[in-house]
């Protein structure tokens, strides 16, 4: 009767009010807990999705970087090829070859040209940067060349300047050449000067760049001046070479 009368009057009856009063906070708390639980699991699901998307973006970024590195490498090789094709012959026949092997402890490289292509010992091996090596032994379709940085190789060098200074260049380390100057004219040799081949050879023409002067030293005991040179052409800078015949 109380409930019916309360409903008719549009209000909550005392009995229902008595029951709902202690239960309402519990219901509200359970609703809040349910909302928090739903939010937690939604976050877990979204986190997995974000992790997947981030990994995908990282993979795409890595692919783009690899592509750019590859494109730069190809562009560099194209420039080297163009430079090799346009190398001056200096009055010699040009034989194009690739470096196909490198033996560090022997300061030696193997080239993809030999007797069949007209290669013979003592010919200079040149890159776009300068003189790299001198042919030592030859087979039918390949040859061995000793790097200029080897102490076993000696070539005539000429320090360029107002008064060119000649000397004998040989390897000292993989990053340094040394030229002995036996005159006592006292001609100035400044750091930064270019050193080229003298041409006083049956096989190596004049004007091939050897390197750049870094410092000089006068050896009083032996009566010579020593010129230290940074080689222009070093192994690893290019794969394409020209053998001048």
Residue 70: what pLDDT?
62
Give the pLDDT score at 197: 95
Distance CA 156, CA 167 (A): 6
pLDDT at 43: 65
Q: Is 197 left (phi over 0), alpha (psi -120 to 50) or beta?
A: beta
Q: How far is CA 202 from the centre of its chain?
A: 36
H/E segment holding residue 230: strand 224-231
- DSSP β-bridge partners for residue 204: none
pTM for this entry = 0.65
Q: How far apart are CA 18 and CA 206, in angstroms?
A: 114
CATH code reported for the domain at 94-147: 2.40.10.340
Q: What is the pLDDT along the chain (245 residues), one digit of tens a residue?
A: 766 676 666 665 666 666 666 655 555 554 555 566 666 666 666 777 788 878 888 887 887 777 666 656 556 555 655 566 667 767 789 999 999 999 988 899 999 999 999 999 999 999 999 999 999 999 999 999 999 999 999 999 999 988 888 999 999 988 999 999 876 556 788 899 999 999 988 899 999 999 999 998 887 777 778 899 999 998 887 889 999 99
- At 192 the pLDDT is 93
Same fold, 94-147 and 154-232: yes
CATH of domain 154-232: 2.40.10.350
Q: How many Cα atoms sit within 13 Å of 225 on the Cβ side?
A: 18
Domains of the chain by residue range: 16-86, 94-147, 154-232
């Amino acid at each position: 009767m109380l409930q019916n009368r309360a409903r008719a009057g549009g209000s909550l009856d005392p009995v229902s009010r008595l029951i709902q009063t202690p239960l309402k906070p519990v219901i509200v708390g359970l609703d809040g807990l349910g909302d928090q639980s739903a939010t937690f699991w939604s976050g877990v699901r979204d986190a997995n999705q974000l992790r997947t998307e981030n990994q995908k973006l990282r993979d795409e970024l890595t692919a783009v970087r690899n592509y750019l590195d590859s494109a730069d490498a190809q562009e560099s090789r194209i420039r080297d090829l163009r430079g090799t094709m346009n190398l001056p012959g200096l009055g010699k026949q040009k034989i194009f070859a690739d470096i196909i092997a490198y033996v560090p402890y022997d300061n030696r490289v193997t080239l993809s040209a030999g007797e069949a292509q007209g290669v013979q010992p003592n010919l200079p091996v040149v890159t776009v940067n300068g003189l790299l090596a001198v042919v030592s032994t030859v087979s039918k379709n390949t040859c061995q060349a000793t790097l200029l940085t080897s102490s076993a190789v000696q070539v005539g060098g000429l320090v360029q300047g107002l008064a060119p200074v000649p000397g004998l260049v040989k390897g000292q380390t993989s990053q340094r050449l040394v030229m002995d100057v036996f005159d006592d004219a006292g001609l100035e040799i400044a750091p930064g000067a270019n050193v080229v081949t003298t041409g006083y050879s049956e096989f190596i023409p004049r004007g091939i760049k050897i390197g750049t002067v870094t410092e000089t030293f006068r050896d009083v005991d032996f009566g010579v001046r020593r010129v230290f040179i940074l080689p222009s052409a070093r192994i690893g800078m290019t794969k394409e070479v020209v053998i001048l015949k």
